[in-house]
Amino acid sequence: MGLKVYVDGKLVSKDDAKISVFDHGLLYGDGVFEGIRTYDGLIFKLKEHIDRLYQSAHSIMLEVPMSKKDLIDAVKQTLRANKLKNAYIRLIVTRGVGDLGLDPRRCQKPSIIIITDKIALYPEKFYKQGMEIITVPTRRNIPEALNPQIKSLNYLNNILAKIEAINAGVEEAIMLNSEGYVAECTGDNIFIVKRGTLLTPPVYIGSLRGITRDVIFDLAKAIKIPVREEILTRHDLFNADECFLTGTAAEAIPVVKIDGRKIGDGKPGKITLKLIHKFHRLTKVNGERY
């Protein structure tokens, strides 16, 4: 049986999962999304992801045409149809079909799409050895223009930075904000460890309040590792004792070199590895079964 995709209330084959060329999600990136993970039949942090989806939609005045409960049921239905125990879920709400103008009032009905499949964001070796990343010229959108707290379908800002990383021969890139402070990576939040304290940029700098980011906060506090938000520069990153990235798809991954500078001793750090271990244990017991 081929992969099934949920499109506006129906489960259809992957090849038949289509939207109109007049959908404003396609024409203008007018819509919102969430990426969610499942581990051995448990959906990790489902409520938090669903809540954030509705918050993103509310901010762009997009009314999700389903209740949270019905949407959760649809996610579970799609997972069961594809017989997936360990999966990545892409949940999408578009503005819907309209005309060639920008006016969202021309879109009569939003569309809901649920894709459940596998994902491997980075090669496995980087999780064991750590990865090298760079800073790129493309700056993060300023919150006053397009707030990073809104997970919109318009990801071109991130994609341009990703292209620069790829052209430089690395997998990920650090994006600075308009003032030159560290914001986040193209798809992940960034953490450093300095003198035993865990630091990450505050969200008002231009970073997403990542759900995995919040999990790391909680795990660090539970094992008495001091953690705080702090404005960071590239100099702070270069001179960190440890560094790692977090995200739903990436989970948590060590960084051992930034812009050619070795971080710490050039190997994944002890605190990083401890938090990654705690995170993996949590995913095995924390989640909603389907």
A 10 A CB-CB count for 48 gives 14
pLDDT of residue 119: 86
Sequence-distant (≥ 6) Cβ neighbours of residue 178 within 8 angstroms: 139, 140, 142, 206
With a cut of 70, which residues of the chain have pLDDT below it? 1
CA of residue 235 relative to chain centroid, distance:
25
pLDDT (tens digit per residue) in 139-156:
999 999 999 999 999 999
- The closest of 64, 174, 156 to 113, measured between CA atoms, is 64
A 10 A CB-CB count for 26 gives 16
pTM of the model: 0.95
pLDDT of residue 120: 85
- The closest of 276, 247, 290, 288 to 34, measured between CA atoms, is 247
Write down the domain spans for the chain. Answer: 4-117, 124-283
pLDDT of residue 121: 85
**Superfamily (CATH) of domain 124-283:** D-amino Acid Aminotransferase, subunit A, domain 2 (3.20.10.10)
Q: Give, in order, the Cα–Cα distances in Å from 103 to each of 33, 95, 183.
A: 20, 11, 31
CA of residue 180 relative to chain centroid, distance:
22
pLDDT of residue 1: 65
- In sequence order, what E strands does 98-206 have? 111-117, 131-135, 173-176, 182-185, 189-194, 197-200
Q: Give, in order, the Cα–Cα distances in Å from 232 to each of 24, 246, 271.
A: 37, 17, 19
Please state, in angstroms and rounded to a whole number, the distance separating the CA atoms of residues 229 and 258: 20
List beta partners, residue 185.
174
- Which CATH topology does 4-117 take? D-amino Acid Aminotransferase; Chain A, domain 1 (3.30.470)
Active-site amino acid positions: 151
Instruction: Output the six-digit token pair for 209.
Output: 């309040």
pLDDT (tens digit per residue) in 223-255:
999 999 999 999 999 999 999 999 999 999 999
